[in-house]
Amino acid sequence: MKLLWRLIRLFLPYWRWMGLGALISLVVVLANMALLGVAGWFLAAMAAAGAVGGIMNYLLPAAAIRAFAILRTGGRYLERLVTHEATLRFLSGLRVWFYQHVEPLAPAGLQSYQGGALLSRIGADIDALNNLYLRTLVPMAVAVISALLVFLFLSRYSLPMAAIDLVFLALVGAAIPLTAQRLGSQPGARLVETSSRLRLAVVDGVQGMGELTVFGAARAHLEQTDLLSHKLRDDQNRMSRITGFVSAASGLMTNLSVWLATMLGVVLVRRQQVASVDLPMLTLVVMGSFESVALLPQAYLYLGHTLAAARRIFAVIDTPSPIVNPPRPSPRPRDSGLEFRGVGLRYTPTGPWVLADIDLDLPPGRRVAIVGPSGAGKSSLINLLVRFWDYQSGEIRLGGYSLRNYLGEDVRRMISVVPQRLHLFNATVRENLLLADPKADHSRLEAAAKVAQIHEDITALPEGYDSIVGEAGLKLSGGQARRLAIARALVKDAPILILDEPTEGLDAATERALMDSLLAATRTRTLLLITHRLSALERMDEVAIMEGGRIIEHGGHAHLMNGDTRYRQMHAVLASSP
C-alpha cells in the first residue's frame, strides 16, 4: 500500500487531465447502458402498441437512442484522446523527475547499475507505470460509480434483481481480478526482471561484441541471451493462460447474471410487479453494466508487473547520495583559484586509497600539468573537483572556500571539463556545441572550433555545422570527436578549464597545433592539464608527477629537468623510444 501511495502521489500534478479522462470514461459507460436500456424498452413498447393498436410517441425515445449513440461514439474518441494525453504528460514528466533524481547520484551513487539497467528503468519500467492509470485507477473508479448507479436504478424496479447484478459485478470486478492478481503476481514480477536482464544482455552484447569475440565469449553470451529469451517467453505464456482463464470466467459470470435477471424478471412480470415492456430494458441494463468491470481482471493481472517496475524505479531514487550538498546557497568565490591540502580519496569505505596526501596549488590563471601513467589517480582528481565524488581526508578550496560549501551544480558551472571518455550525442555539430551554452551565437561556436583545430573539418562536412555526428560521434574520427569536445568546453567559457588527455589519438603535428592554440586562447583561465604525454609541458607553470595516487615531485619544467628526477627519466625514455 505504501508503494501504491507513492505512485499515486506522482500522478497528482496531472490530476485535472486524469480526472477528466475518468469522467469521460464514466459518461461513455453510462451512455452505453442507457442506449441498451432505452433501445430495449423502445422495441418492446412499439411491439406492445402494435399488438393492441395503440398509439405512442416514438420521436422522443428515438431521439434519445440517437443521442446516446452519438454520446457513446464521441465520448469513446474523447476518452482515448484525454486519457492518452494524460498518460503521455505523466510519462514525460516522470522521466524528467527520474532524471532529476538520478543526475545528482552520478557517478558515485550509481556504481551498482550498468548503463543498460538504467536505460531499462527510464524506458520500459516507466512505460509500465501507465498501466496504473489506464488499466487500474480509471477502470476501478468507473466500475465503483457505475455499479452504485446501476444498483440504484434497478432497485427502483426490483431490489432482488439489483442485488443479483451487484453480486455478479463484484465477482467479475473483484473476486476474479484478485484471483488473477494472485496467480499473475509472480510471473508478472519476473517479466519485469527478465525483460530488464534481457535488454541489458542485448545492449552489452552489441556494445561489447569486439571484446566478446576476441576472448571467445560470444557464444556463451549468445546462449545466456537465448536462455533469458526462453524465460521471458515462458512467463508471457503463463500470463496469456491466466488472461484466457479470466476472460472465460468473466464471460460466464456475465451471462449467468443476465440469465438470472431475466428469469427473475419473468416471474415479476407474471406477478405484475414489473411492466412487460420494462423487462427487455432491465435485462439489457444488467448486461451493459458489465462493461464497467470488463477491464478490471486485466488491470489486477498486470498490477504485479506495474508494482515490480515501480519498485525498480524507487530502488534507484532511494539510493542515498554520496555527495551531500550544503544546506545554504553557495558562497561567492573570490577568484578561480584551487587549493589541495592533504587530500585523500577511496571509492569504497574499506577500499585502497586511490589518492593520498595530495598538495597542489592552482592560483587564478595558473597552468598546471599532471603527468603520470594510467591508474596513477589523475582522473580521480577531476571526480573530486566537479563533486562527482567526495574526499575522505584533507580539504579542497575553490575561490577561498571549502569545496563542500558549494552546491554541485554551482561548482560545475565554474569548471569546464574535457573528459578522457567523452560523449557526443546523435545530433548536429551545432547542437553538440550548444550543450555547453544554449545562448552562444554562431561566431562564438566558430571561434571555439578554430581554437580546437576542428573548424576546417566541420566546414568540410556535407552540412557544415548542421551535419549529424552520429551515435557517440560515429561519423567522426576519434581525433575529430576529441577536438569537437574541446571546442564544446571552450564554448562554456568557464574560469577553470580541465583537459584530460586532450591530445589522445592525434598525430604529432595536430597535437602541437592544438596545444599552441589552446595555450594562447586560455591565458586568463586556470588550466589543469592531465596527460601521460610530455609535449608542451615546458610551457606550463608547473608540472606534477603522479604515481600510485601520490604526487611524488612537482615544479617547473626547467627545475625538474635539472637533477635526477622522475620527470627527467620519463623524458629520457621518451627521447630514446623510436
In angstroms, the CA 498 to CA 529 distance is 6
**For residues 415 and 6, what is the distance between their CA atoms, to the nearest angstrom?**
37
| Higher pLDDT pick, 287 / 305 | 287
What confidence score (pLDDT) does residue 161 get? 93
pLDDT of residue 540: 85
Considering 262, 287, 317, which residue would you say is the last residue of a domain? 317
Tens digit of each residue's pLDDT (9 = 90 or more) over 186-205: 787 787 778 878 877 887 78
Q: Of 317, 349, 383, at which residue does a domain stop?
A: 317
CB 405, CB 326: distance < 8 Å: yes
Would 45 be classed as within a structural domain?
yes
Q: Kindly state whether residues 343 and 312 are assigned to the same domain.
A: no
Same domain, yes or no: 310 and 350: no
Whether 134 shows a pLDDT value over 90: the answer reads no
Same-domain pairing of 379 and 432? yes
Statement to judge: residues 140 and 175 lie in one domain: yes
Cell numbers of 375, please? 591508474
Q: CA neighbours within 13 Å on the CB side: how many for 468? A: 4
Strands 415-418 and 496-500 turn out to be: parallel
| Residues of the domain holding 281 | 2-317
In a domain, 326, yes or no: no
Q: Judge whether residue 127 has pLDDT over 80.
A: no
What does the pLDDT average to over 298-308?
A: 72
11 is a domain residue: yes
From 1-10, 148-157, 289-298, 366-375, the region with the lowest mean pLDDT: 1-10
The residues near 508 (Cβ < 8 Å, ≥ 6 apart) are 535
Residue 43 CA to residue 63 CA, distance in Å, equals 14
Domain total in the chain: 2
Write the CATH number for 64.
1.20.1560.10
Whether residues 440 and 312 fall in one domain: no
Sequence-ordered list of residues with C-beta below 8 angstroms from that of 297, at least 6 positions apart, any chain: 172, 176, 177, 180, 246, 247, 249, 250
pLDDT digits 0-9 by tens, 135-180 = 778 888 888 999 999 999 999 999 999 999 999 999 988 888 788 7
Asked if the model's pLDDT at residue 259 lies above 60, the reply is yes
Any domain includes 155: yes
Q: What is the pLDDT of residues 444-479, one digit of tens each?
A: 999 999 988 889 889 998 888 898 888 777 888 888
Report the share of the chain in percent with pLDDT over 90. 19
Shared domain for 290 and 434, answered yes or no, is no
332 found inside a domain: no
Q: What digits encode the pLDDT tens for the residues 329-371? A: 889 988 888 999 999 998 888 888 989 999 988 898 889 988 8
pLDDT score at 578: 47
- pLDDT grade, residue 538 (50/70/90)? confident
Q: Are residues 312 and 345 in the same domain?
A: no
Label residue 544 left, alpha or beta by phi (over 0 means left) and psi (-120 to 50 means alpha).
beta
What does the pLDDT read at residue 53? 67
313 and 351 share one domain: no
Same domain, 312 and 244: yes
pLDDT at residue 576 above 60? no
